[in-house]
Chain A
Amino acid sequence: MSDRPSDSVDPLLSICLAGAKQSFSAGDELVCEYQIDAIDPADIQAVEVSVVWYTEGKGEEDMGVHYFERRLPSDAEDGDLRPMRRLRTRLPNSPLSYAGAILTIRWCIRLRVFMRRRGDSVMEYPFTLGAVPLRVPAVA
């Protein structure tokens, strides 16, 4: 039995891509649904959902936002931001997912929930854009 107070338990975040598709072509429409659970609706201050790319590797991390939506309790019916909501966006032609020698480019759907007095909770759902080969051709 945990001695942590019940309000310190992280909320349950879920993201579901339509058709369980995890690789997309440039220009494809990305459709997903997200939902928040195991939290009192009054405890949610704001919800942000975004489709972003970010870099990993030797260099400092760079990030680009393709889609962004921020919702406050006043934007929802009865002020409840927990029910399932659909996100729909057409993906751009670049940057394509890439795994290089010192640079990796990744795409993900990021769901961030801001809670009153408890900071935020984040969930990422990765996917790939385009089909650049995993292994770059060797230097001759």
Chain B
Amino acid sequence: MARLFRFLEKKRGRRRTGSNLAGSVGEAVFCGTLFLLGVLALTALVAAQVVRYDAQSLAIGVGWWLVFLVLSSFVVIGGVGLIRTALRVSASAERRGAMARQASELDIVREATPRPKNYPTVPSYDGLTNSPGIELAYRLPPSSTPGWRLLATTLFTLAWNGVACVLAVWTVQGHLAGQPDWFLTAFLVPFLAFGVWSVRYLLLQIWLHNGMGLTTVEISDCPLVPGRNYQVAIAQHGHITVKSLELWLVCEEEATYRQGTDIRTEVRRVYEERLWSHRDFRIEPSEPFQATAPMPIPATAMHSFHSAHNSVNWKLVVRGEVANWPAFERGFSIVVYPGEATLRVEVSANVARSALRPQLSVTSTPTGASA
């Protein structure tokens, strides 16, 4: 019986214990049922209103619109799921990829934006060139905006401590009334402790955000091409005594994968080079620190790459150690295009790259995508 019907399936990468066809049929049945249920119920709901018009039930805040929205979502989710399943079963991965490429080529906005042609998977650099610099051509936007992190921390701290206050009042009232709830009291202690830690963390974030001062990075050209030399300018604002300030050119690989029901991202730094560093100096609010450094991009560097689950990201990283402050690191993304040395294949490179080539593979799948 267990061989005929498995309650639990296992998946390792592309391999799975269950049948792909059975999975697709199950998905199609689920989506089809949802779609059919939604269409029938929605038709009945609207028809009832057409046959016997009731203005009162259509008023905002009454359940009719909520039911309408829920049933509409059934139709949309079921319909989209059905189309996706049908496409997956009826077309090979290459055919779906070709259809997706044709659809992306119809992007009118992309066509209207001038950029080097025939560089698929190299990310767009539109967001890097829309802010002119003071010293050099372009001012780079920071990779991550501290404002969002600060907002999320603030909301979490407010919510956590709000609940903590309600529980604290409840517990104290019980004690004053002579009916103490010791379980709640014991639970409240770590709850309050975490609340205090979250307030401390929030204050530290506000302190870092407002007191450290702005870091700006500018570059002389964009996009960057390996084998060429560029200039980079850094400016650090604030009222701080700096122990060390460094500027690094960094390349990272980023991979997103599923582990169970979680989606995880792993980042691996594969290249870093210190472009510039300076030690023991003071920055005044009236006079921000400024410096310029050469930025050579390695001739054989891999270009920036971006696909759905994998990417190669280049960025400039500013690392600082400041007296009486925690160390900080701020990143600024850049886009590197393929360079001459990597676009052209030399004869000797054929031998060097032979290890990269896997063996020829022929596979046969009895229940693959149908024609």
Give which listed residue, A10, A94, A123, A127, contacts B338 with CB less than 8 A: A94
Q: How many A-B residue pairs have CB under 8 A?
A: 212
Task: Kindly report which residue of chain B lies nearest to residue A133, judged by CB atoms.
Answer: B300
Q: A119-B367, A120-B368, A121-B363 are in contact. Are A96 and B309 (CB under 8 A)?
A: no
Is there contact, CB below 8 Å, between A59 and B257? yes
Residues 1-57 of A at the B interface (beta carbon under 8 Å)? 10, 13, 22-27, 45-46, 48, 50, 52-53, 55, 57
Give which listed residue, A64, A118, A122, A134, contacts B307 with CB less than 8 A: A64
Contact residues in B for A94 (Cβ distance below 8 Å): 119-122, 303, 305, 337-338
* A110 and B361 alpha carbons, distance in the complex (Å): 10
* A23 and B364 alpha carbons, distance in the complex (Å): 27
Interface size class of B (residues with CB under 8 A): 35 or more
Is there contact, CB below 8 Å, between A60 and B256? yes
Let me know if B291 is at the binding interface, CB within 8 A: no
Q: A25-B344, A60-B309 are in contact. Are A139 and B272 (CB under 8 A)?
A: yes
Min CB–CB distance B104 → chain A (angstroms): 10
Let me know if A103 is at the binding interface, CB within 8 A: yes
Residues 149-207 of B at the A interface (beta carbon under 8 Å)? none
- Give chain B's interface residues, CB within 8 Å of chain A: 14, 92-95, 97-98, 100-101, 116, 118-122, 251, 253-258, 266, 268-274, 298, 300-303, 305, 307-310, 312, 337-338, 341-346, 349-350, 352-353, 355-358, 360-371
A sample of 9 inter-chain contacts (CB < 8 A) reads: A22-B357, A98-B302, A102-B253, A103-B312, A114-B371, A119-B365, A121-B365, A124-B360, A132-B302
Extra 16 A-B pairs, beta carbons < 8 Å, given A26-B338, A96-B338, A119-B365: A55-B307, A59-B254, A60-B256, A60-B309, A95-B305, A97-B353, A100-B302, A100-B312, A101-B268, A102-B266, A118-B366, A119-B364, A119-B366, A120-B368, A123-B361, A136-B270
